[in-house]
Amino acid sequence: MLESRHKPQAPTGAQLLASGERIDAHHHDNHQIVYAGSGVLAVTTAAGTWVAPGTRAIWVPAGCVHAHRARGALELHLLGLPTSANPLGLASPTVLAVSPLLRELILACTHDPDDDRPERRRLQAVLLDQLRASPQQPIQLPAPTDPRVRAVCDLLRDDPTEGRTLAELGRHVGAGERTLSRLFRLDLGMTFPQWRTQLRLYHALHLLADDEQVTTVAHRCGWSSTSAFIDAFRQAFGETPGTYRRR
For 202-232, letters b (16+ CB in 10 Å) and e give bbbbbbbbbebebeebbbbbbbeebeebbeb
Instruction: Give the Cα separation of 139 and 136 in Å (integer).
Output: 9
Which of 137, 133, 120, 56 has the alpha carbon at shortest distance from 87?
A: 133
Residues in the chain: 247
Together in a domain, 107 and 180: no
Q: Indicate if 187 and 200 belong to the same structural domain.
A: yes
* 187 and 76 both lie in a single domain: no
Please check whether residues 70 and 175 belong to one and the same domain.
no
Query: Distance between CA atoms of 167 and 114, rounded to whole angstroms?
Result: 56
Co-location of 51 and 121 in the same domain: yes
66, containing H or E segment: strand 66-81
Q: Looking at the structure, do residues 194 and 237 belong to the same domain, yes or no? A: yes
* Three-state secondary structure string covering 74-115: EEEEEEEECCCCCCCCCCCCEEEECCHHHHHHHHHHHHCCCC
Q: What's the confidence (pLDDT) of residue 137?
A: 67
The pLDDT averaged over each successive group of 10 residues in the chain (247 residues) is 74 89 92 90 88 85 92 89 88 88 93 84 91 77 92 94 94 93 94 94 89 95 96 88 83
The answer to whether the beta carbons of residues 221 and 160 sit under 8 Å apart is yes
Together in a domain, 157 and 212: yes
Query: Which residues constitute the domain of residue 18?
Result: 5-140
Domain holding 168: CATH number? Answer: 1.10.10.60
Residue 43 is part of a domain; what is its CATH number?
A: 2.60.120.810
pTM score, whole prediction:
0.79
Q: What is the pLDDT of residue 153?
A: 95
Which residues lie closer than 8 Å to 220 by C-beta, 6 or more apart?
A: 160, 161, 203, 207, 212
Same structural domain, 151 and 197: yes
pLDDT of residue 53: 80
Instruction: Indicate if 136 and 195 belong to the same structural domain.
Output: no
Number of Cβ within a 10 Å radius of residue 236: 17
123 and 150 share one domain: no
pLDDT of residue 170: 93
* pLDDT at position 151: 95
